[in-house]
Structure 1
């Protein structure tokens, strides 16, 4: 069984509802929010709003499916072990990771596939970070291309940070990045409001529905924006009173969805067809805007190491598996293999980032493929496997709907990328 990845915000137990609400928001909100106005430009302000709201509702429902699967498995284990209702209410035993659910449903193949999807999803997020930083720094320093920023500046820094194995040492940077994201969002909203006041007619010349094919794009960006799906079980396990988690989760998802819709609509109404794939690039070229971009990029560069941690954990668990090449040689060779694996993974992601043409399109692709599989397909599949035999016909129909819709959504995302432009 692969080692369980610890999350800085979730270490320990006994979190209050307020603390859990904050943890959920921190785990969900990321840089993807700054690509929402571009998604609304592609889909239209009304279609984009409906797409984001739909993605938020679907994400919440599928998070509940994971919790239902965990509860069913815990109930089965409780009956087998002879634990009472009181122990079950207090959550004794039965804690599962996403990979554990995959293994319980489909054996070792299920675990490997689930962990592979998590790695791909996490990889997409880290590459998006690099693309985001490269494009923003290049906008501040036009002499530097995004690829130069990534290879000459980010790559050496991220390789050095990859040798820091302590998540507790890196956790404050994740909080800093979220604070800087809030600062950037506030700066964009301020500029949006000023432009909307000047225009006087915010909806003039702004499309409510830009075409059928724009809706999947907006939904893909929206799904990408709801990061942290695989942390659902860990977030619930961190609460002192787990019975309140579902209501806290609903509050968090609803609040974040409202903010996403408002931010996307305001950004598109303010800039119209000139909306960039990263809306901070629409801000005026002055010292305050440059400062916001640089601080945000520095914080994200530091947070990159936290984002990489689950990937390193899974890769290293394979290198150190009993009978593995590195484990058999031990000593210096084993330590060197671990360090080289970290360097190789970071270098590979930096190389991929240099070939990504635009943040918005990449975010939509990641959201509509691996994120859709992780957020919709796997939860529905696990729920059918674990709860399906005792579930109602209506519940199974909804599971099949999410399963098929997620597969179609992922297929459309792959077709969009692979089809000739």
Structure 2
């Protein structure tokens, strides 16, 4: 039974070759996996929560995310030490080893929803920036998203993800450039004396804004499902926790400084995507265009785990699969057509959902408050408590329980506040 379940497991995230990545390569992979478009929404989160509350919130989320990533690594090491016949390579594997088939389905379902949310956020981000860039054309936000559909369908049909991987790095470079321009604007306004700390809120009087900002902060720490793949790819896996701590510390500090700088620069005028606040000059427009191009080519990578799950179901249909399953080309012609159609349908559905999203900030906070909170905090703590059981010290059980219940509370309360409105 265990072997059958494993054979149908969906590899949600492709692991790099085991034990081949150097320290520097692993560092780069961690940064690319974690840092995403959500960082450009942090100044808006600081506007909602206040610069002091926002800074503390990002620090707490960063620390909690790091701790829960370590829990996943510890759970896999525990299974390996116990001589588990099935190696835990993915989040779904840990779910299966903890709670059986239900645990696998729940873990993979949440990652599927999170990937869908991230993909929709990409489309919303691109659409809002394109609308800002081409203001004179008077096209609606929805029109820009629908124009992307044929392009994204064509890109989703590309067989090799490695051909698109450099664009993910390119998008991160554009993120850094955008952050640099925002910081420059902040320094310029500080020098010119156009704002003071008294004009900026340190801690919001609207407590409902704190979960909203927290959801945005959780959304910023992307790539949680890549933890096991990153650790497995490193040559010296014993050094992974220390490297992860150093990287997380640096990323968290950068997030805090950027959120602070963006809010200080634009105050109550801060938009949900801070690039929309940038002046319309060649450098700002170039960064916005670069961000859009990078995300257009990175979108198929975000959608890939969704396609994998759908295609595993399709390949079970007998008309889609040849009788000789050992063949390298086991799909029938009808099966190949079905996969092309399914990928097109996935892109179209995500585009329709994106066209219904009111704003990037609200949606990012909603995704962060719901599935991201469950994946990042609730499930790791639950797996750790289940797999280690009575061997844990009282303080470890207490800490895991605090993370678990805070994650659940944050998910429920944050979702309510996002839906009701800040």
Q: Report the TM range for the smaller structure's normalisation.
A: over 0.9
Q: Structure 2: state its 5+ residue gaps.
A: 1-5, 324-330
Check 1:281–1:386 CA distance in 2 against 1; reply closer, same or farther (3 A cut).
same
The residue number in structure 2 matching 1:87 is none
Q: How far did 1:12 drift?
A: 5.1
Alignment of structure 1 residues 314-333 onto 2, 5 Å: 314-321=309-316, 326-327=320-321, 331-333=332-334
Is 1:213 the counterpart of 2:208? The answer is yes
Is the 2:121–2:363 contact (alpha carbons within 8 Å) kept by the matching residues of 1? yes
C-alpha distance in structure 2 between counterparts of 1:303 and 1:237, whole Å? 24
Is 1:138 the counterpart of 2:131? The answer is yes
Cα root mean square deviation, aligned: 1.8
| Residue-by-residue CA offset, 1:75-103 (whole Å, 9 max, x unaligned) | 0017xx8xxxxxxxxxxx84421100001
Say which SS state the counterpart of residue 164 (structure 1) adopts: coil
Alignment of structure 1 residues 258-407 onto 2, 5 Å: 258-321=253-316, 326-327=320-321, 331-407=332-408
Q: How far did 1:196 drift?
A: 2.1
| Residue-by-residue CA offset, 1:30-72 (whole Å, 9 max, x unaligned) | 0000000000000000000000000000000101111111111
Give the TM-score normalised by structure 2.
0.92
| Residue-by-residue CA offset, 1:371-397 (whole Å, 9 max, x unaligned) | 000000100111111012210111111
Q: Report the number of matched residues.
A: 405
Check 1:216–1:419 CA distance in 2 against 1; reply closer, same or farther (3 A cut).
closer
The residue number in structure 2 matching 1:225 is 220
Is the 1:68–1:387 contact (alpha carbons within 8 Å) kept by the matching residues of 2? no
C-alpha distance in structure 1 between counterparts of 2:318 and 2:197, whole Å? 61
Say which SS state the counterpart of residue 201 (structure 2) adopts: coil
Q: How far did 1:398 drift?
A: 1.2
| Residue-by-residue CA offset, 1:136-184 (whole Å, 9 max, x unaligned) | 11011122222110002x1110000010121111111111111111111
The residue number in structure 2 matching 1:164 is 158
| Residue-by-residue CA offset, 1:14-38 (whole Å, 9 max, x unaligned) | 2122221111111100000000000
The residue number in structure 1 matching 2:414 is 413
The residue number in structure 2 matching 1:174 is 168
Tell me whether 259-268 or 292-301 shows the greater mean CA deviation: 292-301
| Residue-by-residue CA offset, 1:389-420 (whole Å, 9 max, x unaligned) | 21011111111111111111111133224448
C-alpha distance in structure 2 between counterparts of 1:324 and 1:412, whole Å? 45
Check 1:355–1:309 CA distance in 2 against 1; reply closer, same or farther (3 A cut).
same
Say which SS state the counterpart of residue 204 (structure 1) adopts: helix
C-alpha distance in structure 2 between counterparts of 1:182 and 1:98, whole Å? 29
C-alpha distance in structure 2 between counterparts of 1:236 and 1:420, whole Å? 39
The residue number in structure 2 matching 1:204 is 198
Check 1:111–1:167 CA distance in 2 against 1; reply closer, same or farther (3 A cut).
same
| Residue-by-residue CA offset, 1:271-316 (whole Å, 9 max, x unaligned) | 1100000000000112221121111101111100111111111111
Tell me whether 185-194 or 197-206 shows the greater mean CA deviation: 197-206
C-alpha distance in structure 2 between counterparts of 1:168 and 1:251, whole Å? 27
Is 1:74 the counterpart of 2:67? The answer is no
Is the 1:239–1:245 contact (alpha carbons within 8 Å) kept by the matching residues of 2? yes
The residue number in structure 2 matching 1:60 is 66
Is the 1:105–1:385 contact (alpha carbons within 8 Å) kept by the matching residues of 2? yes
Is 1:20 the counterpart of 2:13? The answer is no
Tell me whether 52-61 or 331-340 shows the greater mean CA deviation: 331-340
| Residue-by-residue CA offset, 1:98-134 (whole Å, 9 max, x unaligned) | 1000011111111111101001111111111100010
C-alpha distance in structure 1 between counterparts of 2:275 and 2:140, whole Å? 17
The residue number in structure 1 matching 2:11 is 4
Give the TM-score normalised by structure 1.
0.92
Check 1:255–1:280 CA distance in 2 against 1; reply closer, same or farther (3 A cut).
same
Say which SS state the counterpart of residue 227 (structure 1) adopts: coil
C-alpha distance in structure 2 between counterparts of 1:198 and 1:391, whole Å? 56
Which aligned segments of 4 or more residues in structure 1 are displaced greater than 6 angstroms? none
